[in-house]
Amino acid sequence: LKAFEQYRLKTCIDFKPWTGEPNYISVYKGSGCSSPVGNRQVGNQRLSIGQNCDRLATVEHEFLHALGFWHEQSRADRDDYINIVWDQIKEGKEHNFNSYDDTVSSALGVPYDYGSVMHYSKTSFNKGSEPTIITKIPEFMDVIGQRMEFSSSDILKLNKLYNCTTFSTFLDSCSFEEPNICGMVQGEDGTGNWGRVRSVEGGPNTDYTNMGRCNGAGYFMHFSTTTGSHGDNAYMESRLFYPKRRSQCLQFYLYNSGGADDQLNVWVREYNRANPKGVLRLIQTISGLRNSWELYHVTLDVSQKFRVVFEGVKGTDTSKGGLSLDDINLSETQCPHHTWRIQDFNNLLATTPVGSKIYSPTFLSHEGYSFQISLYVNGKTSSSTNMAIYFHLTSGPNDSQLTWPCPWRQATMALMDQNPNIQHRMDNQRMITTDPSKTSTDSLGNVEYFWDDPRKVGSRVQNPDGTTYYRGPGYGSSSFITHSRLKSHNFIKGDDVIFLLSLEGNFEVDI
């Protein structure tokens, strides 16, 4: 279902439950990951999501087949870009490397994409340790085969193929690089204004989009609180939106260089027949001095025509700057429940020994389960070229009211691609499910339920302040992301990485 959400966010394609249509896709758990290419007009068209296929990008890959996509290395022009090493391919698997002329597989005018989610890796179906695919530009050897997300070219081709001019759940993205500020307007009721600037004397020195790397670019919106009186305010209102769902996620970066009690209020202005000029409803208030760009997610619950309204309010404390906003995204998707921001990350990469791990703070799910993430920045000793990540249940304030072993909850751990436009992001995600029947054996040979109450199956942990809790065993991936991919895209930005974390029950979306 989360793969379907990416289709809805980035294309006009949607999926719905079968209601008797003559041709449909039937998903089953087979022996691997496979799908016929295109609509075969056979009624029940089977698509296998088997063992080790439950990564988001793998599901995207198989449904792209069903939507008409061949593998990228099957293009008619593939020999201009790669060499197939036929004698290194496992016997009987050669057909996977066939190419098709452009009467069968159209490139749709899009250049060859080494980063496509449809491209095989360099070692796919190899019978030894040697590659089966060699890129003619050596720098792309470790690019091919990514299974993070759709690439930009994947999305471009899909939208061309299906003549998409709108998107199912995407509403807006704004980095304020254009003078029209994405159709936003100054509210009429404030005492001041938001201004489009490139730096502020009291901070920030740069925007978040470009971080000062592009001459003539790098704008953000700023409300100054250096002068004026307590309570002075300014409104900035988005253009009108017409929601299809009842829930939206608003994401933005905020930099507060003003007073600690300066406030950013997030409102929605809702319109209906009884209120043709709109009625303001407060969603969230944010305050506190940060002096850095901070990521926020705000869940909206709007079902009628609306605008998003940002109100900056001057507090009583002395201010050297004010409130700044950048990289706003709005979509009809679920917000992640929590973020884990790791600062000075390049230094961690340079100094953390292989096999050493760091832990996130503990977080609470909406149901009350407490959890934590462990991260091997430079990998485990068995896989030192990869960053490893693991999910742990931890003891928390609600344990006596919860069901144990924790039944069928899905944990999502996503390394955020900090591209300013949510549609262009290639987050690296790993999802795991808490199977209540899963068991493990402790050091004394006792069999215990893996996802049981951490007070029973976990280890006691002492915090720096002397408080203690219990951490259950970890489950995840020793090959979450290679270090070469980690340094690509915008995973590390401003020397920081951001993880988006959720733990939820049945994943429900409007379909």
269-309 pLDDT, tens digit each? 999 999 999 999 999 999 998 889 999 999 999 999 999 99
Task: With a cut of 70, say whether residue 64 has pLDDT above it.
Answer: yes
Same domain, 115 and 200: no
SS (H, E, C) 335-360: CCCEEEEECCHHHHHHHCCCCCCEEC
Same domain, 154 and 218: no
pLDDT of residue 54: 79
Same domain, 397 and 420: yes
pLDDT of residue 509: 46
For residue 167, tell me if it sits in a domain.
Answer: no
The boundaries of the domain holding residue 49 are 2-161
Same domain, 482 and 378: yes
> For residue range 109-158, what is the model confidence (pLDDT) as tens digits?
999 999 999 999 999 999 999 999 999 999 999 999 999 999 999 999 99
Same domain, 360 and 265: no
Is there a contact between 436 and 451 (Cβ–Cβ < 8 Å)? yes
For residue 51, tell me if it sits in a domain.
Answer: yes
Q: Which of 282, 298, 331 is the last residue of a domain?
A: 331
Q: Which of 297, 314, 331 is the last residue of a domain?
A: 331
pLDDT of residue 255: 98
Q: Which residues are catalytic?
A: 62
Give me the mean pLDDT over the 252-256 stretch: 98
Cis peptide before 111 (omega within 30 of 0): no
For residue 27, tell me if it sits in a domain.
Answer: yes
Same domain, 362 and 493: yes
For residue 169, tell me if it sits in a domain.
Answer: no
The structural domain count of the chain equals 3
- Quote the tokens at residue 363: 């977080």
Same domain, 247 and 369: no
Is there a contact between 82 and 133 (Cβ–Cβ < 8 Å)? yes
3-state secondary structure of 476: strand
Q: What is the pTM of this model?
A: 0.94
Same domain, 191 and 279: yes
Same domain, 212 and 74: no
Task: With a cut of 50, say whether residue 508 has pLDDT above it.
Answer: no
Amino acid at 23: N
How far is it, in rounded angstroms, from Cα 229 to Cα 341?
Answer: 34
Is there a contact between 451 and 435 (Cβ–Cβ < 8 Å)? yes
Element (H, E) at 152: helix 152-161
For residue 168, tell me if it sits in a domain.
Answer: no
Among the ranges given (300-304, 395-399, 439-443), the one the predictor scored with the smallest mean pLDDT: 439-443
Task: With a cut of 70, say whether residue 193 has pLDDT above it.
Answer: yes
For residue 510, tell me if it sits in a domain.
Answer: no
User: Which residue from 499, 490, 493, 486 is spatially nearest to 142, judged by alpha carbons?
Assistant: 486
For residue 511, tell me if it sits in a domain.
Answer: no
For 436-444, which contacts have Cβ atoms below 8 Å and span 24 or more sequence positions?
436/405, 436/406, 436/407, 436/408, 437/405, 438/405, 440/473
Same domain, 372 and 409: yes
pLDDT of residue 506: 59
Q: How confident is the model at residue 215 (pLDDT cuts 50, 70, 90)?
A: confident
Same domain, 87 and 195: no
Q: Which of 108, 137, 161 is the last residue of a domain?
A: 161
Query: Where residue 243 sits, what CATH number does that domain have?
Result: 2.60.120.200
- How does the average pLDDT of the chain come out, rounded? 96
Q: Which residues contact 192 (CB under 8 A, 6 or more apart)?
A: 223, 224, 228, 232, 233, 234, 312
How far is it, in rounded angstroms, from Cα 256 to Cα 490?
Answer: 23
Express as a percent the part of the chain with pLDDT over 90: 93
Task: With a cut of 80, say whether residue 220 has pLDDT above it.
Answer: yes
- Quote the tokens at residue 407: 């039944």
* Rounded (10°) CA dihedral 77, 82, 86, 92: -70
Q: How confident is the model at residue 444 (pLDDT cuts 50, 70, 90)?
A: confident
Same domain, 82 and 148: yes
Task: With a cut of 50, say whether residue 511 has pLDDT above it.
Answer: no
For residue 268, tell me if it sits in a domain.
Answer: yes
